[in-house]
Amino acid sequence: MSLDAAAGDDEALALAIGKYALGDVSLGKAAEDAGMTRWEFEEVLEEAGITVTSGPRNAEELEDEVDTALDLE
C-alpha cells in the first residue's frame, strides 16, 4: 500500500469516527465509510474511548442499517 493510500484510509477512518461520535451516522454506516466491518469499527471506537451505542437511535438510522445490510447481499 502506498503512503497516499494509507493516508486516505486514515482520513476515511477519522471522518467516520467523527461522524459516528457526533451522531450523524449509524455504527454500520460509519464502519462502511471506514472500509471496515461493524465489529472492527466497534473495536476501534472502544480503543479510542468512544462509547458504542447498539442499534439505531432513530428511523433514519434504522433505514441506513437496512440499506447497508441489503447492499451486503
Q: What pLDDT digit, counting tens, does each position of 20-47 carry? A: 999 899 889 999 999 999 999 999 999 9
Give yes or no for a contact between 30 and 18, defined as CB atoms under 8 angstroms apart: no
Give the chain's end-to-end CA distance (angstroms, integer). Answer: 28
Mean pLDDT for the stretch of residues 45-65 = 83
Question: If you ran DSSP here, which 8-state letter would residue 49 be given?
Answer: T
Q: Is the pLDDT of residue 14 over 90?
A: yes
Cα diameter, the chain: 39
Mean pLDDT for the stretch of residues 2-12 = 60
Integer-rounded Cα radius of gyration of the chain: 12
